[in-house]
Structures are given as C-alpha cells and as structure tokens.
Structure 1
Amino acid sequence: MTAKVDLTGQRFGRWTVLEEDGRDERGRALWLCRCDCGTERAVKGWRLREGTNRSCGCLRREKNAARGRKMATHGMSQTRIYNIWKGMLQRTTDPKSASYQHYGGRGIKVCERWQNLDGFLADMGPTYADNLTIERIDVDGDYAPGNCRWATVAEQARNKRNTRLFEFRGQSLVIADWAKVLNMNAKTLTSRIYLYGWSVERALTEGVAPERLADL
C-alpha cells in the first residue's frame, strides 16, 4: 500500500494546501486549499499533483479576459478611432515620435483610464465620427475626460497654441474667421498682413463693404 503523502504547505499553481479535508467518493484524499485570490476550497489531491486544478477558476477567467481584450484590440486595429488612440499614446510617451516635443515633451499625458482602449472607447466612442479629430479644450492640459472633444480640422486649427488672434473693434479672431465675417478671401487677408505688412485695421477694412464693418 502506498504511503500517504502529506501535501500541507505545498503550492500547486495558485493553490496553497492548508490541511487534509476528508475523502472523496472513491476514498481519495481531499485537501483544503487557499487560492491566491483568497478563495478556499476542498480539492482532490490527485488533481493537484497532476496539475489539472491550478486555481479556483480565477486563472481561467483572467486568461479569458486577456484573450477578449486582445481580440477586441485586434478587431479595432484597422479602424480610424483605434489609430487616433494609438497616436495619442505615441506622441505623449515615445520620444522618437515626431510630435513628442509638442506633447509628451511639454508634460502632456494620457489619463490612466485612457491608457486602456476600452476606457477611451467608452468615453469618446459614442460621439465619434470619421470627419472629426480629437481636440484638447485646454491645449496645455492632458488627454482626459472633460478636456477632450471631437472637432473638425477647421475647429481644431483655431485652438492651436500657435494660432494668432487679431484684435479689431473689440473682437479677437483668427484670419479665417475675420475673412468670413467680412466676406473676404482668407488668402488675400493673409497676404495683406504677412506679405505686405499692412496694419490689422487697414487689412480688415480696405475694400470691405461698409455694411460689413457697420455690424462690428
């Protein structure tokens, strides 16, 4: 007859054996075990020794969750919103990124929740559209809920740090917006200011219909 092996104190996978806990229906030893997650359960000794029972089930759940996340990420990897998320991480964390100096190099970060694609999609996915780009409302703030929104390229351009505002009659607008207000060609207005060196007042008034100026 084979001598009984005392498994007390031994580890099998995530199980730590606490003490013997009776016999199974075939008279084989059961052992009370504690899983690393804190769950305690009686486990058959032969299953511990053969490696067919390595945890209370938490190990399998974690593997399934990881597999699900991998599949979800893989399924998104060809989409535009995934590339936006990936680019956001790269320019804030990778010094080799061409844009790093303007983001990570200035201390701009991606919040912890958005380090995970699921968190980013939960917050930003419902309002996403293919014609929009991600914009930080405070251009010196982080990528985080409350400081980000989807915007058109034109809207985002107005919020860039290097967008110059021109003040006239109490209003401060970028060239593109002044051109709309005054029904002018934006390229003409740009040339007047930057190429010909006109003053803001002259650039915004010369040749402009009086009724347009009257509304300012």
Structure 2
Amino acid sequence: MEAIGLFGGTFDPIHCGHLRTALEVAKVVGLSEVRFLPWPTHALRTTPSVGGALRVDMVRAAVSCHQIFKTDDRAFSREPPVYTYDVLSEIRNEHPLLSLCFLSGMDSFARMDKWHRWREILDLVHIVVARRPGSDLPRSGAVYDLVQERGVETPAALRTAKSGHIFVAPVTPLQISATALRQSIKAGVDPRFLVPEPVRQIILEQSCYGG
C-alpha cells in the first residue's frame, strides 16, 4: 500500500531538524511523499512570532530541496480554531485508499490526550513518533495506554493498513529548537546551516525575527 507522510507544525521557522526528521522517517517507513502542513496557530503553544503567509513562504522554500517534500497550506483556509483532527479528516476523505502517516515529535505526542478528538485521530492516520536519544515515551497515563494498545514494532505494519497504528522511529539527534533559533536570530546570530539557505535568505531579507 502506498504511504504518504503528513508533518504539521507552526514552523516558526522551519529548520534543518524538521527536514532531517522528515527525510529519515520517509526512508524508514517507505513514504512516497511527505507533506508539510503549516498551522496558523497551535492550541498548546504560544502564538507564532511571524505571520502565516511568511511562514508558508519559508516552508515552500525549504521543501524545494527534495523531490518528495510538498507543502500543503490548507489549514489557513479554515475558520479558527484549526484542529489537527479536522485537517486530517479532510485529507483522509481525499485519499481513502492510502496509508496516511502523521509525523509527531515526542514532546507533542506525549500531550496527545490534550488534542481535539484525540482518540479518533487513529481512525484517520497512523502516528509516527520521531524519537531522539534521551526522549522517552510516557510511562503512565492515557497516552501510555494508547501506545500499549496501538503500538507496533516495525514500520511494515504501516504499509498493510490505512490507519490505526503508532510507530516510534529513531532519528538523528539534531538539537535545533525553533524557540532558541528565534532568540539567537534576534540577538544577531546568523542562522546559517541551521535553516535551509533559501529560508535563511527570507529571514535576513524580511528581518522577521529581529536581529
């Protein structure tokens, strides 16, 4: 079964850690495509520092580096609040026969029980959790129980069903934080090699994070 990846986030800004994670997950799982889904806002995080149009431009510039990477900005056409469940439901309706794999960082996944209609998300997609060394799955609570129920040991299971599984994928530990990146840019530090060069040019030309 063909499988595509869906990588959501505010991407404020998108950086090399995001791209490397997507590339490694695509290889491990066997994804034919990874769609980057920029969000207008995130219910569990602070308001993005940069407007949506500029963040989408940076995502488009970043994903141009690899042929399997795409940008899907449909979240900006929805009335707020924008929920992950609703966006994934729309994509599922468009692709009823594909395996859909939603990529999540460990920090975000650990708070999955705070997401809107969180238990129903696995009716729409698989969840691939990017795990860096030193980051651990919850050891108790609702998310822990969900992993015990839906977790699979190998990515092959993601290609034999359209949704419903959780797979933890080890990825290279690039310690790049969007928060720390914004702070360093504001302090005048050049983001060279932390973000793709086309994104760096947008940041410098627009002075969107100060500095």
Q: Which has the higher contact order (CA 8 A, sep 6+)?
A: 2
TM-score strictly above 0.5: no
TM-score between the two structures when normalised by the length of structure 1: 0.19
Decide which structure has the larger Cα Rg and report it.
Answer: 1
TM-score between the two structures when normalised by the length of structure 2: 0.19
